[in-house]
Structure 1
């Protein structure tokens, strides 16, 4: 089978089914977080409460299926093809959440999700990161400090602002942590491939993954619990994750990207599309939050929207 043939017969279906798995799991997890007490950010008690929900446990299994399909897609197709397809999980999640809640899918939510997906696709296609190694570069320290400061700033914002601003801040922190976790996992995978199963246990990176990864997952559950809608949080997480990955690839692993003036201009437009999509999702999410809170009383069930 040719490379192009493998893209469309293996990579694309695997990525789309994986995205559907992620979307369905996220919608179920968001719904489950509403059925447990509202718990403070990064408090592990939230996971102890959720693990008692069989449907939440099933959703974790669905995430594992999605991750497995993502690995298959990446094995047969390039990152530039697979990652934008995985962002369609936002749309799958919105549709599934609407179906679970027996509500109509909001068109502006879909538009915001499409803007994020299109902007990310364009950015990755223009940047085309290539080259690099699996060895951390000394330049990793400044970027690590910057990403850590950004995460702390998001957590502080989440503690001071209510509504969708809090949701977006938590989701942004989650996306940053997911991107860092993916980069560290790349190092662990290389250590395993070159040194055998015992090699990762001899380096600090594996233990960092074991600490950082669960924190990101816990933050994602906090974001889902705080938001009335699934789309804003998931759109931010799935968009920020690969963008952080590109920054890490350049600064930590020595990857190179296209940097001609035309490409930089296109990337700026793509970034505006991403920001515009997130702003639209935030504003529309806050509007629908107020509508749904008023609609929690009996009546007007058919006029409610969800996404």
Structure 2
């Protein structure tokens, strides 16, 4: 099965079910992080605490299912189709988190998530990256430095500012690291296809993946633990990840994108939609955080009730 038919019969269902898997897993993970002590950013102790929770372990299995479905979707459909569909994990996560907390799904949260998804879809459709190879060139260093600086600034902001600002900063750093990890995994896959199972072990890229990937996952758990709601953090992660991927494709692998004035204008509008969606989610998340904290009361027997 090839062509457009495979997009709609294989790629789209796989991407949507994968997004649902990611969303459900993220909602469960966010809930599990509330059941362990609040641990500082990038401290591996958080994972040791979480691994004792059977529901968290089950969510990791769900993530693996989602990743497998993402690979299937990308095998049969283009990146520009699959990545925007994966952003629907924000909606699935919001729905599942609301169900777990016995709350109604907030309409403004849905609107913000749709803004991120539509902006990302438009950006990828307009950019249409193509060409390039899977070899990291020396000119990759400036972009690597920029991405490293962004990550460090986000971590510093997370250590300084409370509330949703901290959550967004952690999520932004996570998205950057996830995007870098995906690019490095693309190189590893290329090395595997070219030289077999042993080939990747002869290059530094595989070992970088083993270092960077777990850091991104740990940061995502930090972001989930710090946020009252799942949507703002997950929206930032799932939006920034593919955008970093596009930047790396251009800066590292020599991919080309359409860059006419009309396209650049459209991309600017798409960026506004993405930023607007994230800002809306951030402000609404902060308002809901305060509402939840105001309505939260502790009974005399130590149980928590929600007003």
Under a length normalisation based on structure 1, what TM-score does the superposition of the two structures give?
A: 0.97
Say whether 1:251 aligns with 2:251.
yes
CA distance in 2, matches of 1:48, 1:2: 44
Q: Displacement of 1:296 after TM fit?
A: 1.0
CA distance in 1, matches of 2:8, 2:217: 31
Q: Counterpart of 1:227?
A: 227
Q: Counterpart of 1:120?
A: 120
Structure 1 outlier segments of 4+, above 4 Å: 301-304
CA 207–2 in structure 1, closer or farther in 2 if over 3 Å, else same: closer
Residue 297 of structure 1 aligns to a residue whose secondary structure is: strand
Counterparts of 1:139-150 in structure 2, within 5 Å, are 139-150=139-150
Query: Would the aligned equivalents of 2:296 and 2:306 in 1 still touch at CA under 8 Å?
Result: no
Counterparts of 1:1-307 in structure 2, within 5 Å, are 1-297=1-297
Residue 135 of structure 1 aligns to a residue whose secondary structure is: coil
Unaligned runs of 5+ in 2: none
CA 76–282 in structure 1, closer or farther in 2 if over 3 Å, else same: same
Query: Would the aligned equivalents of 1:174 and 1:219 in 2 still touch at CA under 8 Å?
Result: yes
CA 241–298 in structure 1, closer or farther in 2 if over 3 Å, else same: same
Query: Would the aligned equivalents of 2:120 and 2:270 in 1 still touch at CA under 8 Å?
Result: yes
Q: Displacement of 1:101 after TM fit?
A: 0.5
- CA deviations on 1:10-40 (whole Å, 9 max, x unpaired) are 0000000000000000000000000000000
Q: Displacement of 1:302 after TM fit?
A: 11
Residue 134 of structure 1 aligns to a residue whose secondary structure is: coil
Q: Displacement of 1:2 after TM fit?
A: 4.0
- CA deviations on 1:284-304 (whole Å, 9 max, x unpaired) are 1011000000111279x9997
Unaligned runs of 5+ in 1: none
Query: Would the aligned equivalents of 1:103 and 1:302 in 2 still touch at CA under 8 Å?
Result: no
- CA deviations on 1:197-219 (whole Å, 9 max, x unpaired) are 00100000000000000000000
- CA deviations on 1:64-108 (whole Å, 9 max, x unpaired) are 000000000000101110000000000000000000010011111
Residue 276 of structure 2 aligns to a residue whose secondary structure is: helix
Q: Displacement of 1:278 after TM fit?
A: 0.5
CA distance in 2, matches of 1:9, 1:202: 39
- CA deviations on 1:233-269 (whole Å, 9 max, x unpaired) are 0000000000000000000000000000000000000
Give aligned pairs, total. Answer: 303
CA distance in 2, matches of 1:215, 1:294: 34
CA distance in 2, matches of 1:224, 1:190: 33
CA distance in 1, matches of 2:295, 2:192: 53
CA distance in 2, matches of 1:168, 1:52: 27
